[in-house]
Amino acid sequence: MYPQLAIEAAAQSDVGRRRSHNEDSFAALPYLGLFMVADGLGGYAAGEVASRMAIEVVKSCFEEGDDLEDTWPYGAARPRDRDEVRLVLSVRRANRAIYEASQQKDEMRGMATTFAGVLLGPGMAYIAHVGDSRVYRLREGKLERLTQDHTLLEELLRDGDGALETLEALSDRASAVTRALGCDESVAIESRVEATAPGDVFLVCSDGLWGPVPEERIAGVLRAHGELSLAASLLVDLANEHGGPDNVTCVLARLGGG
């Protein structure tokens, strides 16, 4: 989509130490400026099918150049940029495709997935996410999270008064995802636009990374290892060293100078 952009990328995924199969899916597509992770929800039917569909549908929307902007609902607040529109609507299309597929076969009923994606354009990064897969940015050695998890924990913390007491009563459910692709015909997709700078490193990852591995450890790996393929491999190793409780996936993209 933006062949003039110089983007380095790498990705790594692993089943982890406690799961029998990998329900994560991902894509690192520098030629489109598009980087994505989807995590099929554990305990749901065909989570790996849902995550794969999410990645494939969004990818196809950009590769095929569909005029998604024409489908933006009348009266809805419009995103600030055409590329934000395209990203959000492609994720919306993925949600609809997963939901419709789940209604057609009993073995797929209830399948769902989280999603996090970054579209890199000239001077801007467009971010869309649903669920608890995350997007981070490393800039000048500082790691910043650019997404807020759609989980019971984060919603309670945002609510303020009385939230911590409620959280204590629901501690075993605190990490439950409150929205995901495929659960309903429509879903609230959170989006964000960020100005970029040469050298920015974007990390898109499933909770199999950020859950067991402290953010400072993640930042340390990214600061110490400029080779993205090595950094991605080391991040997956870290997750497994911390018990590997879940599938772990990370996608890295770095903007070049000029």
pTM equals 0.90
Query: Residue 98: helix, strand or coil by DSSP?
Result: helix
Assess if residue 126 is contained within a domain. yes
Per-residue pLDDT tens over the stretch 93-114: 999 999 999 999 888 888 999 9
2 located within any domain: no
- Residue 1 belongs to some domain of the structure: no
Q: What is the pLDDT of residue 79?
A: 45
- pLDDT per residue as tens digits for the range 18-59: 998 999 999 999 999 999 999 999 656 689 999 999 999 999
Is residue 190 within 8 A of residue 150, CB to CB? The reply is yes
pLDDT at position 43 = 58
User: What per-residue confidence (pLDDT) applies to 175?
Assistant: 78
Domain harbouring 221, CATH code: 3.60.40.10
| Distance separating alpha carbons of residues 94 and 55, to the nearest angstrom | 8
Reading the block at residue 168, the tokens are: 């204590």
CB neighbour list of residue 115: distance below 8 Å, 6 or more residues apart: 36, 37, 38, 54, 58, 91, 94, 128, 129, 130, 131, 133, 181
Would you state the pLDDT for residue 80? 54
Domain count, the chain: 1
pLDDT for 231: 98
**pLDDT 10s digit of each residue in the chain, 258 long?**
444 689 999 999 999 999 989 999 999 999 999 999 999 996 566 899 999 999 999 999 999 876 555 555 433 444 457 899 999 999 999 999 999 999 998 888 889 999 999 999 999 999 999 999 999 999 999 999 999 999 987 877 776 655 565 655 566 667 789 999 999 999 999 999 999 999 999 999 999 999 999 999 999 999 999 999 999 999 999 999 999 999 999 999 999 974
Q: Give the per-residue pLDDT at 65.
A: 72
Domain span including residue 89: 7-255
| Tens of pLDDT, residues 11-27 | 999 999 999 899 999 99
170 domain-assigned:
yes
